[in-house]
Amino acid sequence: MIRAWDYITIFVGVFMGLLPLLHVRRMVKESSSRGQSSAAVFLGIVSSSVWLVYGIGHELLVIILTSSTVLLTQAVWLITILVFRERQSGQG
């Protein structure tokens, strides 16, 4: 059952989960992943995965939706970092 506060939590969690896309946008605009830590993003993916498993195991829709959003955006962030690192290493 979804309660009123759950909707607010879902909105805030999804909104916060989408914030890494600002980093992705900047990397694409600058064609560089300089200053981006792939290790930190990877740890975020691990953490989000653990929360997702927890949410699924306890059937908590709020955690499932927010963790899925964070996991997806962090995966895009990490892939973008790796793509630009590969391009930069190929140039030098």
Q: What is the number of domains present in the chain?
A: 1
Range of the domain at 42: 35-92
As a whole number, mean pLDDT of residues 22-44 equals 95
Given a cut of 80, whether residue 87 has pLDDT beyond it is yes
pLDDT mean across residues, the chain: 93
Given a cut of 90, whether residue 3 has pLDDT beyond it is no
Given a cut of 70, whether residue 41 has pLDDT beyond it is yes
**Three-class DSSP labels, the chain:** CCCHHHHHHHHHHHHHHHCHHHHHHHHHHHCCCCCCCHHHHHHHHHHHHHHHHHHHHCCCHHHHHHHHHHHHHHHHHHHHHHHHHHHHHHHC
Q: Is residue 71 part of a domain?
A: yes
* pLDDT at site 40: 96
Instruction: Using pLDDT thresholds of 50, 70 and 90, give the confidence band for residue 84.
Output: very high
Q: Is residue 2 part of a domain?
A: no
